[in-house]
């Protein structure tokens, strides 16, 4: 039964701070715990979590305590055992979560696990709905922004790759894991002699560690054949057709081998023919493979947005999302712009060239957001030709008004994604830009044809060159947020699957904002404008 926790608002005669030495009490008041209590614990809205509990039975353990302990755990990057021990014996942790007396509440380890399980099952049963944790993230974001005077109008965005709790495995290692998972799901009495070998310790050793490099193809072919044999047995088991094991083996065989129904011999695909969306782990079906720069990684991608206004005393993360890592940066931002604008009222976003796409600019326009790029992907235009930006082009309609020589076209139009302008022969033939112009001579006149995509790209490049230093400086800081999260365990999470990775990443992201507001209130950030104007003279403070 759900019961909100408001007992912490009541005074108690056993408040431990009342018995502290004055100097010790002063140190306590300057610590992180009172700040956490006022700006995090008291701001947690427990009511949305009522859906996780029934209406009868034993009252739930306080949600605001459980959620606060999750935040503190990821602030410290510690284990469940360590955070439980801190809850039992650390007065700073106790006071941060509203307990004024040390040891006043018992918390069983399984209570934490049940709470996480309830959140996971809620996300699983309500795909696309609020995860409960994201709404708390936004709620705390607004409270922090108001307390510190943070402007949410200007933001920057970036993505970073991370792994779930899976190993970096080659094709042979992956094939072994899939085979072992399938064999374990088959009743022992129905296993063939060939498949029974997979359960022997020596089989793993010989397959993964004693195989020579020259035997790799034959070993993979053997494991694929055994997977196919296991699949046949699994499909003959009652109630196994829709099982996870059947689904994984079917997917693995389809991605890793050539389907040849007329030949029992199984043929592995070439490495280049295996898609990046293929199965990366027998224990995490949603992880994908992506190469970013020179680094290839299996797992997921975390998309972040954070404030970047220069007058802000510090910056806050404003949005997060987790996707399979084959999802492009542009797609992630396109899908998040509506949410970012709705939650923060953002007006400007600074991003790198990987976010450039027509979809991003369209979504930004729909939300009255200006996109500022630091660079652009793709090939630079031909330097031997006149830049498209030298033409007088209506940026709303893409219609060409004048050529670089200042001549007005006899007719101009935009049709089927292309802008065209027609000029008389004598005008083009006598033009000083004739050798570098895009115009081509026709029977009746000369015509300039430029695709609308090229026009948009040209003006984007022009805007970038005009404000490249400003855009780069505004965007660069988000790399620090990525790094800070990875130092706290985001590089490889201890969970698997998209939902669980989203939950843990959300808590870690919220914990980063909490650390920043605590540091700000404790005076840990330097003043943005350390000088004052006195009698017309700038004087350092």
pLDDT for the residue numbered 381: 59
In this prediction, residues 345-354 reach a mean pLDDT of 90
Residue with tokens 């029934």: 54
Please state, in angstroms and rounded to a whole number, the distance separating the CA atoms of residues 240 and 233: 10
Kindly tell me if the per-residue pLDDT of 271 is higher than 90.
no
Nearby residues of 84 by Cβ (< 8 Å), 6 or more positions away = 107, 109, 112
Long-range contacts, stretch 466-472, CB < 8 angstroms, 24+ apart: 467/372, 468/374, 468/375, 470/372, 471/350, 471/372, 471/373, 471/374, 472/374
DSSP secondary structure letter of residue 199:
G
In this prediction, residues 153-165 reach a mean pLDDT of 94
User: HSE (CB half, 13 Å, CA atoms) of 253?
Assistant: 24
Tell me: do 201 and 91 sit in the same domain.
no
pLDDT for the residue numbered 168: 81
Tell me: do 14 and 111 sit in the same domain.
yes
Kindly tell me if the per-residue pLDDT of 538 is higher than 90.
no
Q: For 274-309, how does the pLDDT look when each residue is reduced to its tens digit (9 = 90+)?
A: 998 999 999 999 999 988 777 788 999 999 999 999
pLDDT bucket at 416, cuts 50 / 70 / 90? confident
pLDDT bucket at 380, cuts 50 / 70 / 90? low
Minimum mean pLDDT range among 147-151, 226-230, 258-262, 412-416 = 258-262
Kindly tell me if the per-residue pLDDT of 537 is higher than 60.
no
Helix axes 109-125, 498-521, angle to 10 degrees: 120
Q: What are phi and psi of 182, to 5 degrees?
A: -70, -45
* Sign of the dihedral defined by the CA atoms of residues 122, 128, 129, 132, in that order: positive
Tell me: do 19 and 86 sit in the same domain.
yes
Kindly tell me if the per-residue pLDDT of 147 is higher than 80.
yes
Using the 3D structure, point to which of 242, 273, 304 is the last residue of a domain.
Answer: 273
Q: For 31-41, how does the pLDDT look when each residue is reduced to its tens digit (9 = 90+)?
A: 999 999 999 99
**Assigned domain for 263 exists:** yes
pLDDT for the residue numbered 532: 47
pLDDT bucket at 536, cuts 50 / 70 / 90? very low
Please give the tally of structural domains in the chain. 3
Which range of residues forms the domain containing residue 107? 7-129
Selected residue with higher pLDDT from 100 and 295: 100
pLDDT bucket at 525, cuts 50 / 70 / 90? confident
Tell me: do 180 and 230 sit in the same domain.
yes
Q: What are phi and psi of 268, to 5 degrees?
A: -65, 145
Kindly tell me if the per-residue pLDDT of 12 is higher than 80.
no
Say if CB 423 and CB 449 are below 8 A apart: no
In this prediction, residues 91-118 reach a mean pLDDT of 92
Q: For 476-489, how does the pLDDT look when each residue is reduced to its tens digit (9 = 90+)?
A: 889 899 999 999 99
**Assigned domain for 96 exists:** yes
Tell me: do 178 and 66 sit in the same domain.
no
pLDDT bucket at 261, cuts 50 / 70 / 90? low
pLDDT for the residue numbered 133: 95
**Assigned domain for 496 exists:** no
Burial of 529 (0-12, 13-18, 19+ CB in 10 A): exposed
Q: For 224-260, how does the pLDDT look when each residue is reduced to its tens digit (9 = 90+)?
A: 999 999 999 999 888 888 889 999 999 999 999 987 7
Kindly tell me if the per-residue pLDDT of 14 is higher than 80.
no
Tell me: do 125 and 179 sit in the same domain.
no
Quick one: what percent of the chain has pLDDT higher than 70? 91
Say if CB 428 and CB 434 are below 8 A apart: yes
pLDDT for the residue numbered 526: 78
Tell me: do 120 and 201 sit in the same domain.
no
Q: What are phi and psi of 422, to 5 degrees?
A: -110, 135
pLDDT for the residue numbered 513: 97
Say if CB 320 and CB 157 are below 8 A apart: no
Tell me: do 77 and 181 sit in the same domain.
no
pLDDT bucket at 78, cuts 50 / 70 / 90? very high
**Assigned domain for 446 exists:** yes
DSSP letters for 429-451: HT-TTGGG---EE-SS-EEEEEE
In this prediction, residues 114-120 reach a mean pLDDT of 95
Q: For 393-405, how does the pLDDT look when each residue is reduced to its tens digit (9 = 90+)?
A: 888 888 999 998 8
DSSP letters for 106-152: ---HHHHHHHHHHHHHHHHHSTTS--SHHHHHHHHHHHHHHHHT---
**Assigned domain for 102 exists:** yes
Tell me: do 15 and 120 sit in the same domain.
yes
**Assigned domain for 19 exists:** yes
**Assigned domain for 396 exists:** yes
Kindly tell me if the per-residue pLDDT of 533 is higher than 50.
no
Kindly tell me if the per-residue pLDDT of 447 is higher than 90.
yes
Kindly tell me if the per-residue pLDDT of 387 is higher than 90.
no
Tell me: do 125 and 22 sit in the same domain.
yes
Please state, in angstroms and rounded to a whole number, the distance separating the CA atoms of residues 427 and 424: 5
Using alpha carbons, select from 172, 183, 177 the residue that is nearest to residue 207: 172
In this prediction, residues 42-61 reach a mean pLDDT of 92
pLDDT for the residue numbered 390: 86
**Assigned domain for 492 exists:** no
Q: What is the mean pLDDT of the chain?
A: 88
Kindly tell me if the per-residue pLDDT of 466 is higher than 70.
no
Tell me: do 108 and 196 sit in the same domain.
no
Q: For 494-523, how does the pLDDT look when each residue is reduced to its tens digit (9 = 90+)?
A: 999 999 999 999 999 999 999 999 999 999
In this prediction, residues 131-135 reach a mean pLDDT of 91
Kindly tell me if the per-residue pLDDT of 67 is higher than 90.
yes
Tell me: do 24 and 87 sit in the same domain.
yes
Minimum mean pLDDT range among 114-123, 228-237, 265-274, 467-476 = 467-476
Using the 3D structure, point to which of 397, 430, 452 is the last residue of a domain.
Answer: 452
Using the 3D structure, point to which of 402, 424, 452 is the last residue of a domain.
Answer: 452
């Amino acid at each position: 039964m759900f019961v909100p926790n408001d007992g912490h608002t009541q005074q108690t005669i056993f408040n431990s701070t009342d018995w502290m030495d004055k100097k010790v009490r002063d140190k306590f008041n300057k610590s992180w715990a009172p700040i956490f209590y006022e700006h995090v614990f008291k701001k947690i809205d427990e009511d949305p979590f009522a859906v996780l509990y029934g209406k009868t039975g034993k009252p739930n353990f306080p949600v605001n305590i459980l959620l606060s302990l999750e935040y503190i755990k990821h602030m410290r990057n510690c284990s469940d055992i360590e955070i439980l021990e801190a809850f039992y014996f650390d007065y700073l942790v106790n006071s941060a979560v509203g307990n004024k007396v040390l040891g006043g509440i018992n918390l069983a380890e399984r209570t934490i696990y049940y709470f996480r399980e309830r959140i996971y099952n809620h996300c699983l049963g309500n795909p696309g709905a609020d995860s409960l944790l994201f709404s708390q993230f936004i709620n705390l974001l607004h409270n922090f922004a108001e307390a510190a005077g943070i402007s949410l109008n200007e933001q920057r965005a970036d993505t970073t790759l991370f792994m779930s709790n899976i190993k970096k495995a080659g094709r042979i290692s992956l094939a072994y894991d899939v085979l072992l998972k399938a064999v374990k799901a088959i009743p022992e009495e129905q296993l063939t002699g060939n498949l029974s070998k997979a359960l022997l310790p020596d089989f793993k050793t010989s397959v993964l560690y004693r195989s020579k490099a020259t035997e790799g193809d034959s070993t993979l072919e053997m494991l694929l054949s055994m997977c196919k044999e296991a699949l046949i047995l699994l499909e003959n088991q009652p109630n196994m057709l829709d099982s996870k094991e059947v689904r994984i083996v079917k997917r693995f065989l389809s991605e890793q081998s050539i389907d040849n129904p007329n030949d029992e011999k199984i043929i592995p695909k070439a490495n280049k023919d295996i898609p990046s969306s293929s199965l990366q782990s027998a224990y995490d079906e949603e992880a994908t493979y992506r190469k970013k720069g020179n680094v290839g990684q299996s797992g997921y991608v975390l998309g972040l947005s954070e404030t970047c206004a220069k007058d802000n005393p510090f910056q806050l993360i404003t949005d997060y999302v987790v996707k399979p890592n084959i999802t492009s940066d542009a797609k992630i931002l396109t899908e998040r712009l509506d949410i970012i604008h709705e939650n923060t009222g953002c007006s400007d976003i600074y991003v790198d060239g990987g976010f450039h796409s027509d979809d991003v600019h369209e979504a930004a326009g729909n939300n009255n957001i200006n996109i500022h790029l630091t660079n652009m992907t793709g090939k630079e235009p031909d330097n031997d030709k006149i830049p498209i930006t030298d033409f007088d082009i209506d940026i709303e309609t893409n219609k060409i008004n004048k050529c670089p020589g200042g001549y007005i076209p006899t007719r101009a139009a935009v049709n089927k994604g292309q802008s065209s302008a027609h000029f008389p022969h004598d005008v083009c033939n006598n033009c000083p830009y004739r050798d570098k112009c895009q115009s081509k001579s026709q029977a009746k006149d000369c015509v300039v044809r430029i695709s609308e995509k090229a026009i948009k790209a040209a003006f984007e490049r022009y805007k970038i060159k005009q404000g490249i230093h400003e855009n780069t400086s505004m965007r660069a800081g988000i790399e620090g947020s990525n790094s800070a999260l990875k130092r706290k365990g985001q590089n490889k999470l201890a969970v698997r699957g998209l939902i669980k990775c989203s939950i843990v990443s959300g808590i870690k992201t919220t914990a980063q904002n909490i650390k920043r507001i605590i540091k700000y209130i404790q005076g840990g950030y330097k003043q943005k404008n350390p000088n004052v104007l006195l009698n017309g003279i700038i004087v350092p403070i």
